[in-house]
Amino acid sequence: MRSRFDLARTRMTEIILVRHGQANSNATDEADYDRLSDLGRRQAGWLGEWLASTDPHFDRIVTGTLTRQRQTATAMGYTATGEDARLNELTYFDLAHAMEAQHGVKAPEAAHEFARYLPDVIGRWSEDKLIGVPETFGSFNTRIITLIDEIAAQHGRSLLVTSGGVIGMVMRHVLGLDTDSMTRMMLRTHNSSVHRLRHIHGQLVLDSFNATPHLDAADRAHARTFI
């Protein structure tokens, strides 16, 4: 006989968003970036071990179609039940090229300068001031909200392996953030971080943001990366 707890759990809707492990941070284009570094694989492996020791069951496991997202799920020890291109990241290098060509602003070479650069890029993108990029900010927003609302309408636990920009847009949707606040959350999103949402009383609520319990040990401090 199933317990009351078990019955309640089957009705619960929980969405776990995971950002992919560290990718090739030395890349100069989208294709070269789209693969995990050795550290990225370790981050994902540690996360998989942590999930296995806590609550490993998911009713569905969905990745985007990007290599780094698929590799992260595999390194975590999970086999995806599906792929959805709506979980794919915004095309950062295309935005950066448009930023330089149309506004004369070059992408920074130093990591610490990125914190000032990214909000400017996303801000101009959201105002349709970057022309000819593969996707508008509005369409990026729509595809992610549509997907997350579809997942939220399903019962059970869903694991979505995705990217930082997607997670930022989900936070914007759930918390009602403005674009600048969303971008600053994106900047703080760790590789292989965990973000929990629940669907309660007809709405999505945030349970946790940017958790990295698998990296909390002192000897893993080197593995807490953003890019």
Position with higher pLDDT, 27 vs 102: 102
Q: Name the residue among 69, 44, 51 with its Cα closest to residue 162.
A: 69
Task: Please tell me the predicted confidence (pLDDT) of residue 5.
Answer: 40
Output the pTM of the full model.
Answer: 0.92
CA angle at residue 88 from 212 to 38, to 5 degrees?
Answer: 50
What percentage of the chain carries pLDDT values higher than 90?
81
Report the C-alpha gap between 60 and 156 in whole angstroms. Answer: 8
Residues 6+ apart with CB under 8 A from 83: 62, 63, 64, 65, 70
Given pLDDT bands bounded at 50, 70 and 90, which one contains residue 26? confident
Residues of the chain with pLDDT > 70, as a percent, come to 95
* pLDDT recorded at residue 27: 80
**Per-residue model confidence (pLDDT) at position 12:** 76
Tokens for 53, please give them: 């020791």
The stretches of the chain forming alpha helices (DSSP H) are 4-11, 30-33, 38-54, 67-76, 92-103, 114-126, 137-152, 164-175, 179-187
With b meaning 16 or more CB within 10 Å and e meaning fewer, what string describes 137-159?
beebbebbbebbeebbeeebbbb
**What average pLDDT does this structure show over 192-199?**
96
- Residue 7 CB partners (closer than 8 Å, separation 6+): none
Are 62 and 73 within 8 A, CB to CB?
Answer: no
Q: Identify the structural domains of the chain with CATH numbers, from first to last.
A: 12-87+136-223 (3.40.50.1240)
In angstroms, the CA 54 to CA 152 distance is 22
pLDDT at 11: 53
Burial 47-63 (b: 16+ CB within 10 A, else e): bbebbeeeeeebeebbb
Q: Round to whole Å and give the CA distance between 57 and 75.
A: 16
Q: How confident is the model at residue 1 (pLDDT cuts 50, 70, 90)?
A: very low
Average pLDDT estimate for 17-42: 93
User: What phi and psi, each to the nearest 5 degrees, are found at residue 2?
Assistant: -80, 140
Report the greatest alpha carbon distance in the chain.
67
